Amino acid sequence: MITVHHLNNSRSQRVLWLLEELGVPYDIQHYQRDAKTMLAPPGLRAVHPLGKSPVITDGAGGQVITVAESGAIVEYLIDHYGKGSLKPQAGTPEALRYTYWLHYAEGSAMPPLLMKLVFDEVEKAPMPFFIKPIAKAISGKVKAAFISPQIKMHLDYMEAELGKAAWFAGTEFTGADIQMSFALEAAAARAGLDDSRPHLMAWLKRIHARPAYKRALKKGGPYTF
């Protein structure tokens, strides 16, 4: 049996969605972020040394396997339980696009979004009144000079790519779309993704309308940014 060690408001929501798409039975071990730090609880370190989510354990075959990192989990579950679904045929142009977007999600799309989140929090963090203007000025310059242009560049790129096909790997929905969901949901919530990029917004509407996505939300609990 697969167990998803699921942290609220985290990338592990994608894993629940993938399992619902695959129709594979699984258990959920719920974890809650610390209300002040928003970090994962120490209990996750008993599952994986880094103490982060997502992470799954799979007891299939009598040996318990632990898999961490979203992309690795997506590949593992599709390869072991997909029965040929959610992944293009090997050797095709779609297969190359699938692999690209599977890695692009965390390797390229998420870093500037994460930096924006960090610098937004710096501006809101409690600090002595005489330091706050300096911190906000530094944060504002970093965001204006680097973070915002990077986010715009990536959103423009993804918008153009989805103008070529409905899904990231081509004409069919795949695990690459599941992997890309967190970055684009974060961008829509915190980084200015809106109707000015109609292909991306249409893609978000399509994934949110999928029955498996809705089932995963019910099982995973509240999911906000």
Q: What is the CATH number of the domain that holds 200?
A: 1.20.1050.10
Claim to verify: residue 99 and residue 137 sit in the same structural domain: yes
Domain boundary among 36, 51, 86: 86
The answer to whether residue 108 sits within a structural domain is: yes
The answer to whether residue 198 sits within a structural domain is: yes
- 155-183: pLDDT as tens digits: 999 999 999 999 999 999 999 999 999 99
Claim to verify: residue 36 and residue 112 sit in the same structural domain: no
Domain boundary among 20, 52, 86: 86
Report angle CA 163, 167, 172 to the nearest 5 degrees. 130
Claim to verify: residue 77 and residue 120 sit in the same structural domain: no
Does residue 37 have a pLDDT over 80?
no
Nearest Cα residue to 101 out of 181, 12, 193 = 181
CB 163 within 8 A of CB 86: no
Residue that wins the pLDDT comparison between 186 and 7: 186
CB 40 within 8 A of CB 91: no
Claim to verify: residue 59 and residue 41 sit in the same structural domain: yes
The β-bridge partners of 68 are 55
- 101-156: pLDDT as tens digits: 999 999 999 999 999 989 988 888 888 877 888 888 899 999 999 999 999 999 99
The answer to whether residue 218 sits within a structural domain is: no
Dump the DSSP string for 112-153.
HHHHHHHHHHHHHS---TTTHHHHHHHHHHHIIIIIHHHHHH
The answer to whether residue 222 sits within a structural domain is: no
Claim to verify: residue 12 and residue 64 sit in the same structural domain: yes
Claim to verify: residue 71 and residue 109 sit in the same structural domain: no
Claim to verify: residue 97 and residue 81 sit in the same structural domain: no
Strand pairing report for 65-68 and 55-58:
antiparallel
Q: How far apart are CA 136 and CA 47, in angstroms?
A: 38
Claim to verify: residue 140 and residue 52 sit in the same structural domain: no
Claim to verify: residue 176 and residue 201 sit in the same structural domain: yes
Q: What is the CATH number of the domain that holds 60?
A: 3.40.30.10
Domain boundary among 51, 86, 121: 86
Please tell me the total count of domains within the chain.
2
Instruction: Give phi and psi for 130, each to the nearest 5.
Output: -80, -15
- Confidence (pTM): 0.92
Domain hosting 130: range is 93-210
